[in-house]
Structure 1
Amino acid sequence: MRSLLDPRKKKKKSAGLDVALGLVPHHPRQQQNKEQPRMSSCVSCFWVLLSACLLAVCTFSFLSPSWIVSSGGSGPGGPEPVSFGLLWHCSDSPGHMPSCYTWGGLGRFNDIPSSSWQTSAVLCCGGCALLVMSCFLAIVTLFLPSGLCERRLCTLAGYMQTAAVFMMGSGILVFPFGLNSTTVKKYCENSSIYYAGDCQIGWGFMLAIVGVMLSVFLPFFAKYAPKEHTSPTPIPTIL
């Protein structure tokens, strides 16, 4: 009779019933260990790797002097072969080593031959700067546990990458307007807006277009980069 009326056994039976119904977890310490955040994920690692690669591609293409390439004149007295970029121009005189110079020297931004190229240089350099900062934030998120801080950094980096894509894309669209300048017409006859005349589109310009097109996917991966908690559905057990 005492065993049936013992309140301790009643508490044990009620606790076991709660565990069986799934109202109370059976192993709270084990469940806490399972709910600890993962330190890395495949999406976040791929996002960081893609951000670093596209940063290198875009920076290299925007610093390249081979956006517009001229093969030179047909005769000996014709214009020499040159190539133009946003910040550099190179000349390849016959019998001489190729020489590259910045437009008007360092610190003389106004000497860029076209206002369209000046605008394109500002937009592309600003986009590269945003890619640098977003890549740094992406690397930082790899070492953070999942939580509010990590999600905010991923969101901020995604916004930066979105702005960088718009800025670099606008810079690429504005650049062909400078083909109508006097300096370009000197080497590329009959050139006009969005028409290179006797010149050709160089590999630097094409590489910049490819880099910007691939950068469109960066904000998408930034959305799914935050790590998630591993919180499996508790399975009721009867013990």
Structure 2
Amino acid sequence: MVGCVGCFWGLLGCCLVAVCSFSFLSPAWIVRERGGRRGAAAAPDDEGGEVSFGLLWHCAEPWRRTRDCYAFGGLARFGEIPSGSWQTSAVLCSGGCALLAFSSLLAVIVIFLPGGACERRVCTLASYIQTAAVFIMGSGLLVYPFGLGSTTVRRHCENSSLYYAGDCQIGWGYMLAIVGVMLSVFLPFFAKYAPKEHASPTPIPTIL
């Protein structure tokens, strides 16, 4: 018998893995709109066009030019990420997302397992992994704004500093990552009720 809570738990976990993966690969964590630089002259490489930063991507769309995106991350180019805080955030977010994906796979497996001790153990293991994933990804999101004071970001976002984006603003990618982590908090609670068999209530003794 397939449990409704288990199915919802597995479906929610898979959806949140997709959301977190999409947001972590997005280049729109920090965004500067077209003509967003105030006061100082625009840098010659962007000419006042749109600029956006993500965990692993940087995009620029100068005036009268096509959009240009490139990755400054990856295993071979990890050191090109412009801030140690962003490097730490990339490791934490990608690691947390990987843990969330593994726990979601366990949640899907639970759907097809027969009720019993094995099913409960898998649910417990998945809930622990999901809890760890939430803390790891949340830590990565908290560390990311520390990189706003780096030289590369300050060159595009005038007066940016720790937890202040200057002429830039928070993009939809970062907000989507926050929403994904916040929803992931509920996964360990659903794991508690995912097993198909629960302890039956204590029977009322029959009075002879």
Question: TM-score w.r.t. structure 1 length?
Answer: 0.77
1:68 maps to 30
Q: Deviations over 1:132-170 (max 9, x none)?
A: 101111111111100111111111111110000000000
2:21 maps to 59
For residue 117 of structure 2, the aligned residue among 148, 157, 173 is: 148
1:95 maps to 64
The whole-number CA distance in structure 2 between the counterparts of 1:44 and 1:159 is 16
2:5 maps to 43
CA shift for structure 1 position 105: 6.7
The whole-number CA distance in structure 2 between the counterparts of 1:47 and 1:151 is 14
CA shift for structure 1 position 104: 5.9
Identity of aligned residues (%): 69
Q: 1:106 to 1:90 in 2, by over 3 A?
A: farther
Q: Deviations over 1:30-65 (max 9, x none)?
A: xxxxxxxxx211111110111011111111001100
Please show how residues 100-119 of structure 1 align to structure 2 within 5 Å.
100-103=69-72, 107-119=76-88
8 Å Cα contact 1:138-1:154 kept in structure 2? yes
8 Å Cα contact 2:56-2:73 kept in structure 1? no
> Aligned pair count?
198
The whole-number CA distance in structure 2 between the counterparts of 1:59 and 1:180 is 26
Structure 1 runs not aligned, ≥5 long? 1-38
The whole-number CA distance in structure 1 between the counterparts of 2:165 and 2:12 is 33
The whole-number CA distance in structure 1 between the counterparts of 2:142 and 2:73 is 24
For residue 185 of structure 1, the aligned residue among 150, 154, 159 is: 154
The whole-number CA distance in structure 1 between the counterparts of 2:68 and 2:192 is 45
Structure 2 residue 194 is matched with structure 1 residue 225: yes
Question: TM-score w.r.t. structure 2 length?
Answer: 0.88
SS in 1 for 2:132: helix
Structure 2 residue 134 is matched with structure 1 residue 165: yes
Structure 2 runs not aligned, ≥5 long? none
Give the number of the structure whose alpha-carbon radius of gyration is greater: 1
SS in 1 for 2:128: helix
Moved over 6 A (4+): 229-234
